[in-house]
Amino acid sequence: MAKDARVSIVVAEVSSPLAADGGSTTLLDVEDGVAKVMYRQGRNDECPECIMSPEDMREYLIEALAVHTPYIKDVELVMAES
């Protein structure tokens, strides 16, 4: 398992605002330009649409990583068990 410090920072920055609703992102691995990220979807009964779907989170991570780590070409999202 390989981790990349720059990718870890981006994934941690994405995770920070998710914590308010019990969500998180955690970098698991980086291999061949693919970041493997665990996504724990939060919950917000007052604003269910405020919680990102896995598809939206993957796209958001791809965009964020493209800015800071252009060598990352894709994100494999792994859903955390609730």
3-state secondary structure of 71: coil
pTM: 0.90
pLDDT in tens, 28-82: 999 999 999 999 999 999 998 889 999 999 999 999 999 999 999 999 999 998 6
Give me the half-sphere count of Cα atoms (radius 13 Å) on the Cβ side of residue 7: 22
What would the two tokens of residue 65 be?
């990583």
- Beta partners for residue 16, in sequence order: none
Q: 2 falls in which pLDDT band (50, 70, 90)?
A: low
Res 3: pLDDT: 74
Pairing of the two strands 74-79 and 24-31: unpaired
CATH no. for 5-79: 3.30.300.130
Q: Which residues of 54-72 are buried (b: 16+ CB within 10 A; e: fewer)?
A: eeebbeebeebbeeebeeb
Give the domain ranges of the chain: 5-79
